[in-house]
Amino acid sequence: MGSISKKLGVVVTGGASGLGLTMVEYFASQGHAVTIFDVNTQAGHQVAADLAKKHPEGKVDFKFCNITSWDSQATAFREVYEKVGHVDIVMANAGISEQGVSSLSLADEEEPSQPRLRALEVNLTGTIYTVKLAIHYLKKNTPDPKTGSRGCIICTASNAGLYPFPVAPVYAASKSGIIGLVRSLDRSLEKLQIQINALAPAVLETSITPSKALFEEMIITPHSTLVKGIAQLVEDPKVSGAVAEIHGENVTLRTHHEYVDDDTKANMETFWKHGIA
């Protein structure tokens, strides 16, 4: 990465709306070939057509893709690779809220109802599929002669994956899961010269919440800070395994916790040495 002057192949899941849409516009404005993967066919086609007109320097395409389906994502990635010829940046961004009151809320029930886990399936399972496919295609790239990078993966987590988020514990678990995934994959991906990072946005106005009125009481982070964070991660291939909090006007990089003691660190190194757990 780093040398962003080359026309890059970019995939953005959930690119038809909200944060994903901002990502698509940013990469298109940089002259790259961007493909939106989204379940919203109508918005996806519309966004692709509008942005292609607005940013003729780039290319914007849409593919229907449900990230919770391995086959759907595998097909979409294969088609992008065949058409564009390379995949260089993957934004694993699609995600949903718990869509109303959490099914882990403590409401009285005669019999316990099975929790709804759709947020976990989309946000975590879908992202794991995206990351697996991203690695497969990024591995095919020749490392950039200047930076040594084959490309990068950026996963949209949330600050709800870092802080307690009592109203939506399943959502919080899915986002903590993404952070664990990113931090744990970094060391293996370093060998492949691929960077992986997570974004932990605060509150940005999008279509994610069922109640738009919620945003009126919130301190809103502008989409320009999201763009600043993405540019920082893409342009600096030395940063990997980090979580970038996107808050207010700021991008704050968080590395993992300090080890609690030397024994814990030593055991983690033993797992790594043996390559199994």
Ligand X SMILES: NC(=O)c1ccc[n+]([C@@H]2O[C@H](COP(=O)([O-])OP(=O)(O)OC[C@H]3O[C@@H](n4cnc5c(N)ncnc54)[C@H](O)[C@@H]3O)[C@@H](O)[C@H]2O)c1
Encoded amino acid at 240, one letter: S
Judged by beta carbon, residue 150 or residue 183, the one nearer ligand X is 183
x-or-dash string of contact with ligand X, 195-214, rule CB under 6 A: ------x-xx-xxx------
List binders of ligand X among 223-242 (CB under 6 A).
Answer: none
13 binds ligand X (CB under 6 A): yes
**Options 8, 27, 62, 95; binder of ligand X; rule CB under 6 A:** 95
Among 1, 10, 48, 122, indicate the residue that binds ligand X (CB under 6 A): 122
Our separate counts of H helices and E strands in the chain read 9, 8
- Our CA dihedral for 19, 23, 25, 26, rounded to 10 degrees, sits at 130
Report whether 121 contacts 130 (CB < 8 A): no
Residue 6 bears catalytic tag: no
Q: Which residues pair with 252 in a beta bridge?
A: 245
Stretch that binds ligand X, among 64-72, 106-114, 229-237, 252-260 (CB under 6 A): 64-72
User: Residue 61: how many CA atoms within 13 Å on its side-chain side?
Assistant: 18
Residue 66 binds to ligand X (criterion: CB under 6 A):
yes
Residues in the chain: 277
Residue 265 annotated among the catalytic residues of the structure: no
Applying CB under 6 A, among 65, 133, 168, 251 the residue interacting with ligand X is 65
Q: How far apart are CA 252 and CA 248, in angstroms?
A: 10
Of positions 1, 23, 39, 244, contacts ligand X by CB under 6 A? 39
- To the nearest 10°, report the CA torsion of 273, 233, 88, 32: 180
Q: Which of 206, 210, 127, 199 is nearest to 167 (CA)?
A: 210
Binding of ligand X by 19 (CB under 6 A): yes
> Is 69 or 147 the residue whose CB approaches ligand X more closely?
69
Orientation of helix 126-138 relative to helix 169-192, angle to 10°:
10
Could you say whether residue 138 binds ligand X (CB under 6 A)? no
Q: Kindly state the smallest distance separating residue 156's Cβ from ligand X, in Å.
A: 4
Q: Which residues are catalytic?
A: 171, 175
Which residues bind to ligand X, rule: CB under 6 A? 13-14, 16-20, 37-40, 65-68, 93-96, 122-123, 126, 156, 158, 201, 203-204, 206-208
